[in-house]
Amino acid sequence: MDLYEHQARELFVEHGIVVPKAEVTDSPEQAREIARRHGGRVVVKAQVKTGGRGKAGGVKLAADPAAAELTARQILGMDIKGHRVGKVMVAEPVEIEREFYVSYVLDRAAGGFLAIASAEGGTEIEEIAATRPQAVARIPVDPARGVTSAKAAEIADAAGLPPRTADVLVRLWQVLTREDALLVEVNPLVTTTDGRVLALDGKVTLDDNARYRQTRWGAEPQEHHDPLETAAAAHGLNYVKLDGEVGVIGNGAGLVMSTLDVVAGSGARPADFLDIGGGASARVMADGLSVVLSDPAVKSVLVNVFGGITACDAVAEGIVAAVDSIRLTRPLVVRLDGNNAARGRAILEARAHPLVEQATTMDGAARRAAELARTA
């Protein structure tokens, strides 16, 4: 469960981390009044649960209350990576001396947490991490020991952060552990010309398994998402809308990602990422297929399943149920392999739907789906 920036700031303040003064509103007129209360010159920031707001025009400096109202009017209603801006935060500006990046993230492979920090924070941190990885320190954190003052000093030293940021590193760890978080990020953490250390922006992702302990966030209205993603979420599906023409369904994130690559290598563009999971039932398969076929951009669909926990005959039954309940107007290519694959193929052969065909390999299935999309 991702939090909005203003919610992350709320947690920061509760744990003693200093943030600039700010208020949240959904009204341009109220943005003007907030700016007046904060001295006139403010920063207006879109409140959406995605990154890249600054580059998308969702973070702007306003010189006076009138400019704050105009800027809020421009930002409210914007679409930023499929998220519609319903609220803005109006914050006091600060005189920045230096910018840094700090975060704690769950490291599942290592069975612990990872502190990630850099002396070069800001909007270009992703590019810095990709082009100059040596500028980003990655320090393992033992969850049993946590981030003590000594550990915080180690992280700061490794990343080239000023020693006075160590206290913030300790407090961010408290946010992570006490608030059931999987990710806590500040970008940028800044030192100011008047000697303060401030968290200018914050991102917090809470563990969905702890929702029953984090009920205070449940009442917050959600910003707009793509309607297909909303429909998929209602069915508990892991679906991401892309901008291609070949719908992709698979079981397991790794297999789906590989399928996207193979589709792209076949000269077509994937229309989505849809992982039906490791133990998907026929009902889940039918729900997933219905969501993918609801996308008007989809010209063909590729179902790529390797049977393990998910039995291929259950997948086949889901496909049959879906094509029998909806009017299938676009071709469907199915590749089944693994657990009960022969039985699954037999189920599809018996149904003999004219728009459903099978392939024996992932490469062959992708090539055929791409070909059908091009000729649709």
Tell which residue, 223, 216, 131, 136, has the closest CA to residue 179: 216
Indicate whether 253 and 363 sit together in one domain: yes
Indicate whether 125 and 239 sit together in one domain: no
Asked if 34 and 42 touch (Cβ cutoff 8 Å), the reply is yes
Indicate whether 371 and 287 sit together in one domain: yes
For tokens 């509760």, what's the residue?
14
Task: Assess if residue 14 is contained within a domain.
Answer: no
Kindly state the tokens that stand for 319: 């496909």
The number of domains in the chain is 3
List, for residues 119-149, the tens digit of each pLDDT value.
988 767 767 777 788 888 999 999 999 999 9
Task: Assess if residue 5 is contained within a domain.
Answer: no
Spatial distance between the Cα atoms of 333 and 259, rounded to a whole number of angstroms: 13
Task: Give the range of the structural domain holding residue 298, as residue numbers without chain letter.
Answer: 227-375
Task: Assess if residue 9 is contained within a domain.
Answer: no
**Exposure string over 190-219, b if 16+ CB within 10 A, otherwise e:** bbbeeeebbbbbbbbbbeeeeeeebeebee
List, for residues 299-335, the tens digit of each pLDDT value.
999 999 988 777 899 889 888 988 888 888 899 999 9
Own/partner pairs, 55-63, CB within 8 angstroms, 24+ separation: 55/123, 56/80, 56/81, 58/85, 61/93, 62/35
Indicate whether 189 and 135 sit together in one domain: yes
Spatial distance between the Cα atoms of 95 and 34, rounded to a whole number of angstroms: 20
Q: Helix or strand or coil: residue 14?
A: helix
Active-site residue set: 101, 185
List, for residues 213-272, the tens digit of each pLDDT value.
877 876 444 554 567 888 888 888 889 889 899 999 998 888 899 999 999 999 999 999
State residue 130's pLDDT score: 72
List, for residues 89-103, the tens digit of each pLDDT value.
999 999 999 999 999
Indicate whether 66 and 108 sit together in one domain: no
What angle do the packed helices 312-325 and 282-293 form, to 10 degrees? 50
Among 40, 58, 91, the domain boundary falls at: 91
Spatial distance between the Cα atoms of 24 and 353, rounded to a whole number of angstroms: 54
